[in-house]
């Protein structure tokens, strides 16, 4: 495993990339409404990223056809935006966004309610966001990556939610996916976190079972039991003083 710890100069560029991602999320929060198509959201994200002199990280990545991943309800991750997918009251949508600025990547996902959602879905969103922040609280020098994973697992268990086990967080930098991989449950990982490690923490929790299925498009991942899933993600820098969130507005 090769982990590249970032310099102050590199961190600053990652903050710029993360700021652009955060700008897109701010726009998504306003735009997610009943009757909107996921293609409209994708077009808006593309426009904002390009207007800020960045490139959509996902577009063309291993053939991915869009700027954002738009994943509704039981779709966990990697959903394709389309003209046919129209948001309905009661839906939840995970929007995953990547922007590359001057060679560095910002990567963040958030799950948004569409109109009025059920109490069960409200709990799912609250718990998954709580799991994200519980995990990233351990992103500090000399803490362990295992404690990040364990904190996420503990929140999932507290709310009796399924944990997506095949997908997880990852290092971020010049590449969208760098070492280390971050499981959202304990695996006895011995890695000790060091200052300058930049990692995307991204719990994916389900209202039902852990199990997920890859669809025929070889991208979209859905829950096996078709129950709703939520996904929250920030790119975070390890510092001596604790986590520094890089995917937020400057």
For the chain, the domain total comes to 1
Mean pLDDT of the chain: 98
CA distance 47 to 20: 11
Q: How many residues does the chain have?
A: 250
Does position 29 have pLDDT exceeding 90, yes or no? Answer: yes
Reference 208, options 163, 139, 148, 162; nearest CA is 162
Whether the CB-CB separation of 131 and 157 falls below 8 Å is answered with no
The pLDDT of residue 109 is: 98
Does position 45 have pLDDT exceeding 90, yes or no? Answer: yes
| Confidence tier at 205 by pLDDT (50, 70, 90) | very high
**Position 217 in a domain:** yes
Q: What is the pLDDT of residues 62-106, one digit of tens each?
A: 999 999 999 999 999 999 999 999 999 999 999 999 999 999 999
**Position 33 in a domain:** yes
Q: Give the domain range for residue 205.
A: 8-245
Does position 1 have pLDDT exceeding 90, yes or no? Answer: no
**H-type alpha helices, the chain:** 8-31, 38-51, 119-136, 145-158
**Position 228 in a domain:** yes
**Position 132 in a domain:** yes
CA distance 151 to 136: 9
Which CATH number characterizes residue 146's domain? 3.90.230.10
3-state secondary structure of 141: coil
**Position 174 in a domain:** yes
CA distance 5 to 8: 10
In percent, the amount of the chain with pLDDT more than 70 equals: 100
**Position 198 in a domain:** yes
Calculate the alpha carbon distances from 244 to 17, 52, 72, 133, 238 in Å.
14, 22, 29, 12, 7
Q: What is the pLDDT of residues 107-156, one digit of tens each?
A: 999 999 999 999 999 999 999 999 999 999 999 999 999 999 999 999 99
**Position 250 in a domain:** no
The pLDDT of residue 131 is: 98
**Position 82 in a domain:** yes
Provide the token pair at 149: 């994973």
Q: What is the pLDDT of residues 84-96, one digit of tens each?
A: 999 999 999 999 9
């Amino acid at each position: 495993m090769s982990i590249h710890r970032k310099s102050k100069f590199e961190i600053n560029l990652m903050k710029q990339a993360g700021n652009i991602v955060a700008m897109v999320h701010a726009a998504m929060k306003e735009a997610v409404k009943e009757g909107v198509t996921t293609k409209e959201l994708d077009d808006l994200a593309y426009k904002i990223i390009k207007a800020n002199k960045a490139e959509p990280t996902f577009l063309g990545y291993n053939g991915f056809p869009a700027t954002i991943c738009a994943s509704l309800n039981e779709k966990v991750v990697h959903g394709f935006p389309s003209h046919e997918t129209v948001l309905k009251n009661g839906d939840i949508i995970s929007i995953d966004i990547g922007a590359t600025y001057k060679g560095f990547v910002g990567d963040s996902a958030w799950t948004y309610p569409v109109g009025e959602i059920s109490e069960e879905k409200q709990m799912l969103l609250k718990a998954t966001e709580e799991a994200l922040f519980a995990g990233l609280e351990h992103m500090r020098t000399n803490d362990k990556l295992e404690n990040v994973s364990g904190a996420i697992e503990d929140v999932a268990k507290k709310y009796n939610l399924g944990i997506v086990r095949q997908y997880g967080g990852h290092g971020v930098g010049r590449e969208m996916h760098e070492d280390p991989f971050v499981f959202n449950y304990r695996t006895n990982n011995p890695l000790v976190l060091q200052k300058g490690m930049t990692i995307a923490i991204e719990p994916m929790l389900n209202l039902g079972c852990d199990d997920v299925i890859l669809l025929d498009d070889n991208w979209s991942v859905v829950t096996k039991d078709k129950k709703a899933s939520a996904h929250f993600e920030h790119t975070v820098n390890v510092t001596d003083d604790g986590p520094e969130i890089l995917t937020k507005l400057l």
